[in-house]
Amino acid sequence: MRTWRVGTISMGVSLVGLGMILLISQIANMNMTTILLSWWPLLFIILGVEILFYIYFSRKESSFVKYDILSILFVGLLGTTGIILILLTSSGIMDQVRAAVQSEEKTVNLPGFNEKAGKDIHRVVLDSGSYPLTVESGTDEEVSIFGTYDELVTVDAESLLKKTEDYLMVERNGDTLYISFKDLPVQNSLLVGGRTNLKATLIIPAELSLEINGQSTDLVLKPRQLLSNWSVKDSGYLSVYLQENSDIKIEAKGVEELEGPENSWKTTEIKEEDTNEEGTEKKNGTLKSGKGKHILTVFDTYKVNVHYP
């Protein structure tokens, strides 16, 4: 009496088909995921045909038909894998995984920003955003920004930042130039979590006054030969680099830590209201370099560290 095991043919066809897919993908350098997504439904068709034949031949007394459980489980596993791939593709997760595997993290130059201040501009108001920033005074009349950022680069992907407007907002209003750094988009957050790193340097003419909203980020100031007044509010770690011939007076108000050369800071009386929510006392202090003709005022900053050459 002839015995027919349902599932054996389906498993054989599955193994042959899977082997052909692997061979073709290696020779033709094709995307195996795309082939699997279009091929796997045939497994259920083949298995269904086998079951129909089982129903037909089971009516004959001369045949003995039974199920090959191992083969059916193997075919079911391949089919389930195909279903999972389709769900991942339709949800966009597969595209993120594919992009992350094919990508390479590189440090790329920021699109440069250069704008002549002119005689009408007397003040710059800066929102540093959530990225560390270095600010320097310069001798030119231009306000300029340059720096780098980290980017996941793929073969066919476009650059994350193509132009200045992609990371910077600049607006002129009266005698003031407003500059604000935008938050950069997160790339492939599934595999590469976190935001994009950005490091920038801003250079402004020494005769322009400057107001910085630090948003609790770290800032580096290099006033050099400052010819106007600067102010910084709500910074994290603020590092100030002075030159030997700097003519600057630093006034710190509501700062938790003051650091610099020995006996350089003169702290003033601490008031009870000058405390933060955690009860940490804040300090008020002054530091003078030269005659202190121009003033750098620091408000509500965690730490101010002054460096001399």
Condensed to tens digits (0 to 9), the pLDDT of residues 101-142 reads 656 677 888 898 998 888 889 999 999 888 889 999 998 889
**What total number of domains does the chain contain?**
2
pLDDT surpasses 50 at 166: yes
97 part of a folded domain: no
The predicted structure's pLDDT at residue 37: 60
At 292 the three-state DSSP class reads: coil
Query: Do 87 and 143 fall into the same domain?
Result: no
Q: Looking at 91, 115, 136, which one is the last position of a domain?
A: 91
Condensed to tens digits (0 to 9), the pLDDT of residues 211-254 reads 999 888 899 999 988 889 999 998 889 999 998 888 899 999 98
Beta strand ranges found along the chain (DSSP E): 2-6, 63-67, 104-109, 113-116, 123-127, 133-138, 142-153, 168-173, 176-181, 198-205, 209-213, 219-222, 230-233, 237-241, 248-255, 257-259, 266-267, 283-289, 294-299, 303-307
Higher per-residue confidence, 135 vs 100: 135
pLDDT surpasses 70 at 95: no
Condensed to tens digits (0 to 9), the pLDDT of residues 75-91 reads 677 667 766 766 666 66
| CA 118/CA 124 separation, integer angstroms | 12
Domain span at residue 116 reads: 105-307
Query: Do 125 and 214 fall into the same domain?
Result: yes
- Tracing tokens 């498993």 back to the chain, one arrives at 11
193 part of a folded domain: yes
| CA 230/CA 205 separation, integer angstroms | 12
How does the average pLDDT of the chain come out, rounded?
78
Query: Do 123 and 197 fall into the same domain?
Result: yes
Q: Looking at 67, 91, 115, which one is the last position of a domain?
A: 91
98 part of a folded domain: no
Query: Do 87 and 145 fall into the same domain?
Result: no
Using the Cα atoms of residue 204, residue 207, residue 208 and residue 209 in order, give the sign of their dihedral: positive
DSSP string, 66-86: EE-HHHHHHHHHHHHHHHHHH
pTM of the model: 0.66
How much is the average pLDDT of 140-158?
78
Query: Do 110 and 84 fall into the same domain?
Result: no
The predicted structure's pLDDT at residue 143: 93
